[in-house]
A = this chain, B = another copy of it.
Amino acid sequence: MKRGPITGKRGYEINADIAFKAVNPADYDILVISGGKGPEKMRLDKDALEIVKHFFKENKPVAAICHGPQVLVSAGVIKGRKATCWIGIRDDIIAAGALYEDSEVVVDRNLVSSRNPGDLFAFGREMIKLLN
């Protein structure tokens, strides 16, 4: 995926200031994977998956919400991990070997996950804790 402006489904625009390919994951302290329709594209990007693998290999904080865990499934890092996600993909993370929990936030070592936008407060709280 390229750098440059991206328009969300509600019309908000953000600027992707770096492409996955140009990222040196060693320069970053946390990886946050948001939800929506992005993860179904991101999971097909080999460079994105390499970033995810780096964070798990180095045991550095990863936070994923809603459809975000789809990227973790494709990176092969969710097996045996306690996690949650958007309920519509629950059976997919279970099939991939995750230990699914229906909680607003689930923390398993370096991994923080939440279900939906209503969980954002708990998601942010636990994410910040991992950074401290």
Residues of A within 8 A of B (CB): 40-41, 43-44, 70, 73-74, 86-89, 91-92, 95-97
Cα separation A125 to B87 with both chains bound (whole Å): 34
Q: Name A88's contact: one of B40, B87, B88, B91 (CB within 8 Å).
A: B40
- Oligomer copy total: 2
Q: Chain B nearest CB: distance from A36 CB in Å?
A: 12
In the bound complex, residues from chain B placing their C-beta under 8 Å from that of A74 are: 91
In the bound complex, residues from chain B placing their C-beta under 8 Å from that of A87 are: 44
In the bound complex, residues from chain B placing their C-beta under 8 Å from that of A92 are: 70, 73, 89, 92, 95-96
In the bound complex, residues from chain B placing their C-beta under 8 Å from that of A41 are: 88
Please determine whether A44 and B96 come into contact, CB atoms closer than 8 angstroms: no
Cα separation A43 to B95 with both chains bound (whole Å): 14
In the bound complex, residues from chain B placing their C-beta under 8 Å from that of A96 are: 91-92, 95
Cα separation A73 to B96 with both chains bound (whole Å): 11
Cα separation A40 to B87 with both chains bound (whole Å): 8
